[in-house]
Amino acid sequence: MSRRIASVVACMALVTGALACGRQGVAPIAPDDEFTLQQAADSIPLSYRRDVRVGDVWMTFSNVPTDSRCAKGVQCVWAGDAVAEIAVHPGCYKDGCKAPSQLLSLHTNLEPKSGTAWGHRITLLALQPHPVYGTVTDSSRYVAWIRVNP
């Protein structure tokens, strides 16, 4: 009987651990994810070159033209700066409408850190991953963390 109870307790621990791991890990962002404006008012991740719907607009984190942030493992006299380009598209973007997209170039340390497009204020909160000395960051690994306010 005590062996059976031990087996049940072990199974429960495994199931509980698996559920907790699922919640703690950050799930990869699938293309065409959607976020509400309420979620975006806190912070949301934009994966590199993936379309994401935020309220009534679409956004694409399209480029990192410069990343001069001080690399991990190096002592710098200046923190450096990176630029994330975020294209903001009208709600009809996926339907092929002709309304133009607006491109924002947002900085991590310099200004502007935020900009307005299609009636929404977008602020760059962070750009990950941080550079590592002696390595080149693969563009596909970039994630821009932003806040969106109407």
Cβ neighbourhood burial of 59 (10 Å; 0-12, 13-18, 19+): buried
CATH of domain 31-149: 2.60.98
Q: Residue-wise pLDDT tens for the chain (150 aa)?
A: 444 444 444 444 433 343 333 333 344 545 458 999 999 999 999 999 999 999 999 999 999 999 999 999 899 999 999 999 999 999 998 888 889 999 999 999 999 999 999 999 999 999 999 999 999 999 999 999 999 998
Q: Could you tell me if 50 and 59 are in contact, meaning their C-beta atoms sit under 8 angstroms apart?
A: no
